[in-house]
Structure 1
Amino acid sequence: MKKKTKTFLTLLSSIALLAACGGGNEENDSTQSAGAESTTTQTGGILNIGLAANVSSLDPTSYTSQYEANVVRQIGNTLIVYSKDFSEFIPSLSTEWAVSEDGLTYTFQLREGIKFQDGDYQDGREVTAEDVKFSLDRSAFDSALNRLSGIESIEVLGDYEVAFHLTTPSSAFMSMLTDPGNIIVPKEEVEGWGDQFAQHLVGTGPFSLKNFQSGQQIELVRNDNYWGASPNLDGVTFKIITDGNMMVNSLLSGDIHIATDVRGQNREVIKQGNNVELVSIPGFSTFYLDMNMMKGPTMDKKVREAIYMATNVDDIVNGVNQWGGAEVSYSPLPKASWGYMENSKDFIPEYDPVAAKELLAETEYADGFSINLYLSDARIPYGTIFQDQMKENLNIDIQLNPQEWGTYSETVSSGEADMNIGGWSWDPDPFFYLNQEFHSNNIGSLGNGRGYNNPEVDALLDNALTETDREKRVDLYHQALEIIMGDHSRIEIELSETANGLSKDVEGYDVRANNEVVIVNDDGVNVSLKDE
């Protein structure tokens, strides 16, 4: 098997990379890293971070939200990671890699001497290629969100060498490996804990899990045997604060140091606060309203189109975001993705409630109907405005069903949600949006719980995944987008900025476009707290 060098692979995989995200506004351009003026590094202390939704699972194969991912990332490591600006891949548990000429085999060399954290079923033993195979076999064949697709087999070539054999060449494979769902875990802990492993995660990361209290908080402590740079902090505590106002009050009172997912008026409250700052940057996050294509009135394409035409998306976005932080979305892809289609607006129905009512009259639902809308507490403001518009424009009664994250995720994934308001944030490669949310292979997962199924779209997405030329990939994705948006399976709502409230006691923390919380990583980040 002829192999290329790591440098060549990086060039070959450029299709999966993104230059530093542009955009932003004047108030944010100079504030993307907290405490940047500090010249000394403090050690010790517990960093408290507020999460806007509950964390129900830390198992890399079963978690479904960014909130859970942000905890998993601190406990485990992947083979490689993205650089801060998403422009290149950086070694993590692996030191180098190579790819065969046919693009079907990727071979990784592992660092020697890396140890797992101590657990109940192993005492911090060394990581080997067998652990990589075990962990990524789980991800490839058992992941709730198909976080590692296209794997034919994983082969152990030696104690510190492992090969991935793909079914077809995959231009997104390297990007997939950076996902926290692909951290390396010990077999003994997974099998010893069984289903309870979701609350007893053990990995190789800078922090170990100390205490998991679902719905309340998750306590992590410094891993003194961490293979990388020793964390500056003694630990990190993630506090579950689902109410946005309470989140900000906790930041202002000093109960937390970082408030995540800051929206609405709370942006202004933080700007006016003492010893805190709002950091808000263009992100990869999209908000949308799914319509079930497998059951109920929205099985009818005319009903879906009428609903879209009767939805004043501008009023929803502006009503919820009077204090900034978002703009109207016209595409399933965020603008920061290199696959974004600039003329996306041309494929979105214009707001026309009169024409919408006429279109609905062509169906059996001319007089309106009642339907359930599922959403998290944080998205109730969006649902309330949509509810009013549907009643006024189409005589459709929208029943709001707020749910905590775990229940919401299960309802949507199982196809039981008539409608749902969702959010999606991943890396810049279009694969993570279009394949995850529109390929029929993902029906039954959170991304495609509504049951979108179009063979023509499947074929275009499959071809884009095996194509190595980025321009050709973009063309294929644009063809798919035109069909997807013409099917009206969901209403595009907004592109959200990534907004965090930060205590000025935090040093070295960067807000990332993909909503990722990074405390210690291989790109030189090591967050600390100022001495009190």
Structure 2
Amino acid sequence: MDFMKKSLLCAARPLVAGLALALLLAGGVGSVYGGGKSQAGGTPRADNTLRVSLNRSVKTLDPLYLDSTAADNVIGQLGDTLVRNNKGRSDFFPDLATDWTISEDGKTYVFNLRKGVLYHPGKFQNGRELAPADVVYCLNRAKGYFSNYLYMLGEVEVTGPYQVTCHLNVPDANFLYNLTSTTNTIFPPEEQEGWGQDFATHFIGTGPYILESHIPDQKSTMVRNEKYWGTKANIERVEYYIISDTAQRVNALRTGEIDVDLNVVGETIQTVKDNSSLTLYQNPAFRVNLIGFNTRAKGPLSDPRVRKALIQATDYDTLAKGVFRYNEGTVQKLPLPNNSWGYDKALEALVPAYNPTAAKALLAEAGYPNGFKVTINYVGTGNAERAVTILQALWKDALNVELVPVTTEQAVYMEILQTGSFELQAGSQGCTSDPATSLGYFFSTDKIGGNYNPWGYSNPAIDAKIALAVAIPDRTKRIQLYHEILEQVVPENVGIFYANEKLTWGVTNRVKNVEQWAAILDVTKGIQGEPGYINLSIAN
């Protein structure tokens, strides 16, 4: 995705990925998995295989249960959605749908499907043609899942031999964007029903690559789809390796054992910059790094004065620059990406200013003159861990608040966000340039019980404004509404939205035509000569 991802994700260290890492240390990517010999010293490999490192385990390839950008990158090569985003996420390209029309009331979308699109051969079908009934099945299956990207979708129906019509319950400017989520990847229903739970490792799609094998926690391999509906991929094979350790990823990149590191962080950014055989790709990611307060939790955080005091005791510059020490993120203060068209720096004045003295007085007024102890949950290490370490010092010094870190496995982390069984959480949330995907999700009652509104914010008046803001086409009026929403919700102090992350990739110079549009590295997409066409190649 990098779409709004179904988890508030930070760099992770899956325990099971230790096997792959240990094997890598012992003999290199190639010698471990038989994909070619390790090339010490960065000697280029004379093959047509792209090797990519991922920082976390890919547990499943079932679109409904994708839980990370790592998983999105794998399935993004195997399957397609109805539409795709452009680079700035402000417009859409055809994918499985060649064109579409929208009714005047904004509630009916008619999609004309591409003819002659074939599925990869599988156990329960032999590479048949994509049918509109498949789209109906997949979108209906995706409705109501906890991320709830299709919350606005009512009925989906087949209206022609190559046509599907979607009826929305209400007009919603997010609908096309949400269709681009990998959650809405189209697949043959008989494969999902036939495999059952094992579909997680036997995904069948329409994409430019066919899954050869998927070993959770270790490796995913795929081969070129010779019957892809678009322009045939230049690269024959793609292999993804789970390498959770930051230093080991960049070392494998430096030695030529992998070609792409999609998670270059910290001091390894400088390592990539300093290596003439590597290229650093870096662009704003529409990903808000945050500290979330559970307003429903019993204890201090249920008091808005306590939440305000914690914010007053937080120096946003210190926090953002301490987390992103190598310019891989920019400081901000509002609950939407600072490169969103709805962001107004003047409204940062709504956020309580850094004032430790005032914070201490307010905490005493709330009944905690001697501070208190509170836990914070997060996944793994990296950005979240650095944020927690910085806050531990700031809050202890100013308020005598003891912040107790609790590192959590990803599946458990998602569960506590859904159930609200936490006090504070540290992570990040992917959004888009449209405030509907940040403000509209962070403060929507409908999103309680998911990962977008784990703080439990609910206000019928705000819900009404959120609904109105996505239902009108006029951007000027939408901006006005979103600013009104900010003026009301920011003083509620549900969290610290301190930075907008950058996408940071390291790529060997043998890989050509790289496009950094979003968190997914597209190896091949589309038809040559048409908008949105991407086709990487390898120079040996």
> Are 1:64 and 1:145, in contact at CA under 8 Å, matched by a contact in 2?
no
Which residue in the other structure is 2:373 paired with? Answer: 370
Which residue in the other structure is 2:219 paired with? Answer: 217
Q: Distance in 2 between matches of 1:44 and 1:204?
A: 25
Matched residues, percent identical? 33
> Are 2:316 and 2:333, in contact at CA under 8 Å, matched by a contact in 1?
no
Q: Distance in 2 between matches of 1:354 and 1:392?
A: 11
Which residue in the other structure is 2:318 paired with? Answer: 315
Question: Could you list the runs of 5+ residues in structure 2 that have no partner in the other structure?
Answer: 1-44, 527-531
> Are 1:44 and 1:232, in contact at CA under 8 Å, matched by a contact in 2?
no
Q: Distance in 2 between matches of 1:124 and 1:492?
A: 47
> What secondary structure is seen at the aligned counterpart in 1 of 2:64?
coil
Which amino acid is 1:328 matched to? V
Q: Deviations over 1:254-305 (max 9, x none)?
A: 2221112322211111111241121212331210000111113212111111
Which residue in the other structure is 1:123 paired with? Answer: 126
Deviates more, 1:484-493 or 1:233-242: 233-242
Q: Distance in 2 between matches of 1:339 and 1:43?
A: 48
Which residue in the other structure is 1:436 paired with? Answer: 441
Q: Residue 344 of structure 1 is aligned with which of 332, 344, 347? A: 347
Which residue in the other structure is 2:230 paired with? Answer: 228
Q: Residue 293 of structure 2 is aligned with which of 281, 291, 306? A: 291
Which residue in the other structure is 1:459 paired with? Answer: 464
Which amino acid is 1:326 matched to? G
Q: CA deviation at 1:159?
A: 2.2
How do 1:70-219 and structure 2 match up within 5 A? 70-141=73-144, 143-219=145-221
Deviates more, 1:293-302 or 1:79-88: 79-88
Q: Distance in 1 between matches of 2:211 and 2:80?
A: 14
Scaled by the length of structure 1, the TM-score of the pair is 0.88
Q: Distance in 1 between matches of 2:151 and 2:480?
A: 22
Q: Deviations over 1:117-139 (max 9, x none)?
A: 12222222111110010011112
> Are 2:288 and 2:431, in contact at CA under 8 Å, matched by a contact in 1?
no
> Are 1:130 and 1:159, in contact at CA under 8 Å, matched by a contact in 2?
no
Q: Deviations over 1:310-364 (max 9, x none)?
A: 1122112222333222221111211222222231321111111111111111223
Q: Distance in 2 between matches of 1:224 and 1:79?
A: 21
Q: Distance in 1 between matches of 2:502 and 2:180?
A: 22
Question: Do structure 1's residue 355 and structure 2's residue 358 form an aligned pair?
Answer: yes
Q: Distance in 2 between matches of 1:167 and 1:500?
A: 40
Q: Residue 61 of structure 1 is aligned with which of 48, 61, 64? A: 64
> Are 1:413 and 1:447, in contact at CA under 8 Å, matched by a contact in 2?
no
Q: Deviations over 1:349-408 (max 9, x none)?
A: 111111111111122333222222111222211211111222222222212122343332
Q: Distance in 2 between matches of 1:183 and 1:136?
A: 9
Q: Residue 413 of structure 1 is aligned with which of 407, 418, 437? A: 418
Scaled by the length of structure 2, the TM-score of the pair is 0.87
Q: 1:478 to 1:397 in 2, by over 3 A?
A: same
Which residue in the other structure is 2:3 paired with? Answer: none
Q: CA deviation at 1:89?
A: 1.6
Q: CA deviation at 1:208?
A: 2.0
Moved over 6 A (4+): none
Question: Do structure 1's residue 282 and structure 2's residue 287 form an aligned pair?
Answer: no
Q: Distance in 2 between matches of 1:395 and 1:504?
A: 50
Which residue in the other structure is 2:5 paired with? Answer: none
> Are 2:337 and 2:431, in contact at CA under 8 Å, matched by a contact in 1?
no
Deviates more, 1:193-202 or 1:347-356: 193-202
Q: Distance in 1 between matches of 2:47 and 2:101?
A: 39
Which residue in the other structure is 1:381 paired with? Answer: 386
> What secondary structure is seen at the aligned counterpart in 2 of 1:61?
helix
> Are 1:154 and 1:163, in contact at CA under 8 Å, matched by a contact in 2?
yes
Q: CA deviation at 1:87?
A: 4.2
Which amino acid is 1:105 matched to? T
> What secondary structure is seen at the aligned counterpart in 1 of 2:434?
coil
Deviates more, 1:252-261 or 1:55-64: 55-64
Q: CA deviation at 1:86?
A: 3.1
Which residue in the other structure is 1:528 paired with? Answer: 537
Which residue in the other structure is 2:12 paired with? Answer: none
Q: Distance in 2 between matches of 1:230 and 1:434?
A: 40
Q: Deviations over 1:461-494 (max 9, x none)?
A: 1111111111111111111122221111010121
> What secondary structure is seen at the aligned counterpart in 2 of 1:170?
coil
Residue correspondences, number: 488
Question: Do structure 1's residue 519 and structure 2's residue 519 form an aligned pair?
Answer: no
Question: Do structure 1's residue 494 and structure 2's residue 499 form an aligned pair?
Answer: yes
Q: Distance in 2 between matches of 1:243 and 1:450?
A: 31
> Are 1:44 and 1:528, in contact at CA under 8 Å, matched by a contact in 2?
no
Q: Distance in 2 between matches of 1:448 and 1:400?
A: 21
Q: CA deviation at 1:43?
A: 11
> What secondary structure is seen at the aligned counterpart in 1 of 2:438?
helix
Q: CA deviation at 1:196?
A: 3.0
Q: Residue 254 of structure 1 is aligned with which of 253, 256, 260? A: 256
> What secondary structure is seen at the aligned counterpart in 2 of 1:509?
coil
Which residue in the other structure is 1:5 paired with? Answer: none
> Are 2:51 and 2:241, in contact at CA under 8 Å, matched by a contact in 1?
yes
Q: CA deviation at 1:44?
A: 6.1
Q: Distance in 2 between matches of 1:517 and 1:413?
A: 29
